[in-house]
Each structure stands twice: as C-alpha cells, then as structure tokens.
Amino acid sequence: MVTRDFSGYEVAKALVNKGNFQWVRTPGDHAVLKWEHPDGPEVKKRSVTIPLHDRVRVGTLRGIAEDAGAKDFEKFCEWIDRNR
C-alpha cells in the first residue's frame, strides 16, 4: 500500500525540488507554490497552497494533487514518497 502520511514541508519540498514549482510566499503556516508551463504563462500555470503542518490530511493531499495537475492520486503519493 502506498503511504499517504506526509508533512506539508515534505510535499512542498518535493514539488519545488522535482516538480519545477517555485515557492512564492509563506502566509502564516501555508506555502504558496506556483508553476508555469515552459512555453510561458499564457499556455498554462498552476498555483498550489500547502499547509505546513506535521501531517497533511488525505483530503487536503488530494486537493494538492489536483491543484498540482496530478491525474492519479496514488501515483502522486508514490512520487512524493520517492522525492521527499
């Protein structure tokens, strides 16, 4: 079974280091990450907000995966696990 037990910092770190997201700001205890398509922002861009908690709930993690553009939640969790 794939683990779904990640801290918010682990998720943000994987998206920044391996997912080409940029850490834009940290309002309170949340990280705001942005991603732009390599061909420019007019093609596609994404924004993801991640709570920097010790443990991210599964429903919140699903929302982060969706906002980040993941098509398969299980594969997203496997990818985070490999890259945290």
Domain count, the chain: 1
Cα 13–Cα 48–Cα 70 angle in degrees, nearest 5: 85
Task: Report the percent of the chain where pLDDT is more than 70.
Answer: 94
Per residue in 30-71, pLDDT tens?
Answer: 999 999 877 776 668 899 999 999 999 999 999 999 999 999
Q: For residue 2, is it within any domain?
A: no
CATH number of the domain to which 75 belongs: 3.30.920.30
pLDDT given for residue 1 in this prediction = 57
pLDDT given for residue 9 in this prediction = 96
Query: Whole-model pTM?
Result: 0.89
What is the domain range of residue 68? Answer: 8-83
Q: For residue 1, is it within any domain?
A: no
Q: pLDDT-derived band of residue 72, with 50, 70 and 90 as boundaries?
A: very high
CA distance 9 to 6: 8
3-state secondary structure of 7: coil
